[in-house]
């Protein structure tokens, strides 16, 4: 299906980062504005979604916080190495 993005003018749902933690699929998105930061990380194969809402301007690794929270509900995640920040990926 071809989509004419110029005519839509507003598109939601773009901008998800896709990570692979071992054989598990993980997607996430974060953002911030003066005084606030947010993150949503979905551990798709484990059926866990973590949403972070913070009263901080910056969080260096919201995905690391989300992974730590998800580990309480899915201990197997503790064995998986945290993905490097986007700037350090190959």
18 membership: H or E segment, kind and range: strand 17-21
Does the global pTM surpass 0.85? no
Region at 51 (left for phi over 0; alpha for psi -120 to 50; beta for the rest): beta
Residue 61 has a pLDDT of 80
Residue-level pLDDT, tens digit, the chain, 90 residues: 565 655 544 444 567 777 777 778 888 888 888 888 888 999 999 999 999 998 876 677 888 888 999 999 999 989 888 877 655 544
pLDDT for 12 equals 42
Six token digits for residue 9:
């003018």
Choose among 87, 84, 85, 67: nearest CA to 24: 67
Domain boundaries, the chain: 13-80
Cα separations (Å) of 75 from 2, 19, 28, 89? Answer: 42, 18, 20, 26
């Amino acid at each position: 299906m071809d989509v004419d993005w110029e005519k839509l003018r507003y598109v939601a749902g773009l901008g998800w980062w896709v990570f692979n933690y071992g054989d598990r699929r993980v997607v996430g998105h974060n953002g911030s504005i003066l005084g606030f930061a947010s993150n949503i990380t979905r551990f798709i194969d484990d059926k866990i979604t973590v949403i972070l809402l913070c009263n901080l301007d910056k969080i260096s690794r919201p995905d690391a916080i989300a992974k730590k929270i998800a580990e309480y509900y899915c201990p197997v995640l503790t064995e998986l190495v945290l993905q490097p920040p986007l700037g350090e990926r190959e």
